[in-house]
Chains A and B, each alone.
Chain A
Amino acid sequence: MSVISDIAAELADDARAAAMAPVESVKDAKYTLEGIREGRVSPATVLKTAGITLGAAVVVALLLFPLYWVAVGAFSGTGASLYSSSGIRLWPADPTIEPFLWVIGDLIVPSYRISLGLGGYEVFLQTPELTFLDVSQYGVTETSEFKRFFANSLTVAIPTVLLAMCLIVPSAYALSRRQFIGRSKVLYGYVLFTQIGGGLGVALLIALYALFVQFGFNDSKLALSAYYAATAVPFNTWLLKTYMDGIPVSYEEAAMIDGAPSWKIVTEIILPLSKAGLATVFIFTFLTGWTEFVVAQTLLSTDNYTLPVGLYSLVGRYSIPWARFSAFALTFAAPIMLIYLFAQRYIEGGLSFGGMEG
């Protein structure tokens, strides 16, 4: 559980830094003002700095404007964003969360009737209907298929993670700690594939599709997960191996002297110390299955569409207003973005961590 508490501590640090940022900058500004008054700092320099900083901020704002525009679109009233031609808006014309309600739809657990036969008697159990969100109360009658896509994505991503972890963890350990025939060849192949093999997936798609159809695997979410797990192996094995390289060998030597067998060294030293690395690999393999589009679109039928394919299926449908499309896209992408950025940060900290605080 220490990974989670670490994460919580980092989040708390971030929150504190964010909360303190205005205070700090006010302090800085006060200091600069004093400097100007006392003649230590020339006003021209301050103006120049302020101007350049403002320019940089404008550049950043322009770069991220498309994302802001999507968010504005998603919160707009349906009609306003599709039909109005009043130019660019910095604030939604008619703010509403209706598009998001359309995306999520009803969250109702229907009541089930369970019957049990107990020695001639029949006992009926009626579970209550649980209503978390009933969108028809807010005037949204038809809803998107987000929940179905979401369920499909989960049934693809979970087997992907399980299979990938089973393949990656032993490989990474062996590559990091043992010498054997062909070791450097495997490593070289994995790194090369990581750097240049990214686009091979689409090129292979014809063969992959033909093979899947002939084996009767097309439209099988499990076969798709196996494919995702296979593509995730090279990069993540390399990543975890690099991570394990950072754990000092002296820990293992100490355990060996104490007479621990090598499986015990793995379970008691290597795995606990590479928790952050394992978490990163977990997230990356999960996202492989969660975000892949081309292969899923080719192999799966409409009923089994995952979220990315579902998103794409909305693109050409002119009956779907832009506001609803944006809301769908944001609901899909925003959690991934947060997770990814966090993993990115954590991995940076993780790679420099040498096992000393374990």
Chain B
Amino acid sequence: MSVVDSAVERVADSPVVSKDDLPLLLVLPGLFVFLAFMLFPVLYLVYLSFTNAEPATLFQGKEQWVGLANYVTVLSDGQFWNSMGVTWLFVATSVALKVLVGLGIGLVVTGERVRGKRFMRALIIIPLGLPGIFTITIWRGIFSSAEFGLANQFLQMAGLDSIAWLSERWMAFLAYNVTEAWLAYPFMVIITVSALQDVSEELHEAAMIDGAGFFARFLHVTLPSIKRPVLFASILTAAASFQQFLIPYVFNQGGPSRTNELLIVYGYREAFRFQKYGEGAAIMLVAVAVIGVFMMLNVKKGQLADGVDDA
């Protein structure tokens, strides 16, 4: 006990940490474990990206420092730029789709003539509680070319030919987008609905008296009032789209023939499929840097971490 006491006294005497800071000891274990499993791997990833690590050398401790060679290889690789392009295209199309779907559903379940709105909202957010791997494997089944594939059954009902969804480049890309939209719509709907409920009734009534129709009111009253929260949600969901890994990986490993490898899938496959840990690490770091800059710009603009200030 006395050892602990004297240690406590010494800590209390030190100039940096005063006795009032002892509650820090309650936070440190959590912080330490978190950093050990997050910050330390980040540093190690940086190190790996400067070496020619692959399983054969790394686990013998024989990896060699190669400087920026991995970054040069990656940045001059057409495959990388294809991935970068597809990833941003995916961000653009999926965010547009998610915002449209979210807004559409949001309007439907807040419509003043709709009865049973609360019940409908409760039903609609059900996908939020489903594990990602469940949803994505199910959607893979929907886009399957086998007889049970739901997408092809719909096409057949409409009298069209079935499509090999996952082995054609843009059809697979479309499938990714649809699945991403279904995964993310509950989040978008929750944000949109709470924004729609805050739209002032007076403005709507005033516009109605001025003779504005439904669409005019939507454009000039509803949209401006919900712009900010919806923008906030789209930034967060854009980051999610950029980091999407499971959908391409489960659907067809970013195929056909590597055309749809989103950035993270590309890095993962370079490392684990083609055994190039060094290059994989470099790709991941470039991806993290890109998303980091993107988020930083948005945080500065949109004040995403607002909550901390009033804590």
Among residues 218 to 254 in chain A, which have CB atoms less than 8 Å away from a CB atom of chain B? 226-227, 229-231, 233-234, 237, 241, 245
A167 and B285 CA atoms in complex are apart in Å by 29
Binding site for A on B (CB under 8 A): 16-18, 20-24, 26-27, 29-31, 33-34, 36-38, 40-42, 44-45, 48, 53, 58-59, 105, 108-109, 111, 113-116, 119-120, 123-134, 137-142, 146-148, 150, 153-154, 156-157, 182, 185, 236, 239-240, 242-246, 249-250, 264, 267-268, 271-272, 277, 280-281, 284-285, 287-288, 291, 295, 299, 304-305, 307-308, 311
Contact stretch, chosen from A97-105, A110-118, A124-132, A290-298: A290-298
A2 contacts B by Cβ under 8 Å: no
A206 and B267 form a contact (CB under 8 A): yes
Interface of B is mostly: helix
A204 and B311 form a contact (CB under 8 A): no
Q: A63-B185, A207-B42, A340-B128 known; A202 and B250 CB under 8 Å?
A: no
Q: Report which of B48, B127, B140, B287 forms a contact with A207, defined as CB distance below 8 A.
A: B48
B111 and A233 form a contact (CB under 8 A): no
B243 and A332 form a contact (CB under 8 A): no
Q: Report which of B20, B115, B271, B291 forms a contact with A199, defined as CB distance below 8 A.
A: B291
Q: Report which of A55, A179, A204, A311 forms a contact with B41, defined as CB distance below 8 A.
A: A204
Q: A167-B30, A329-B134 known; A180 and B124 CB under 8 Å?
A: no
B38 and A204 form a contact (CB under 8 A): yes
List 19 interface pairs A-B (beta carbons < 8 Å), by A numbering.
A56-B120, A69-B142, A73-B141, A196-B295, A198-B240, A199-B239, A199-B243, A203-B284, A203-B285, A203-B288, A204-B38, A206-B48, A206-B267, A207-B48, A210-B58, A291-B132, A322-B141, A322-B146, A332-B131
Q: Report which of A56, A88, A312 forms a contact with B157, defined as CB distance below 8 A.
A: A88
Q: Report which of A163, A175, A227 forms a contact with B27, defined as CB distance below 8 A.
A: A175
**A92 CB to nearest B CB, Å:** 12
Residues of A within 8 A of B305 (CB): 188, 191-192, 195
A301 and B101 CA atoms in complex are apart in Å by 40
A267 contacts B by Cβ under 8 Å: no
Residues of A within 8 A of B127 (CB): 67
A213 contacts B by Cβ under 8 Å: yes
Residues of A within 8 A of B31 (CB): 171, 186, 233
Residues of B within 8 A of A311 (CB): 133-134, 137
A196 and B147 CA atoms in complex are apart in Å by 40
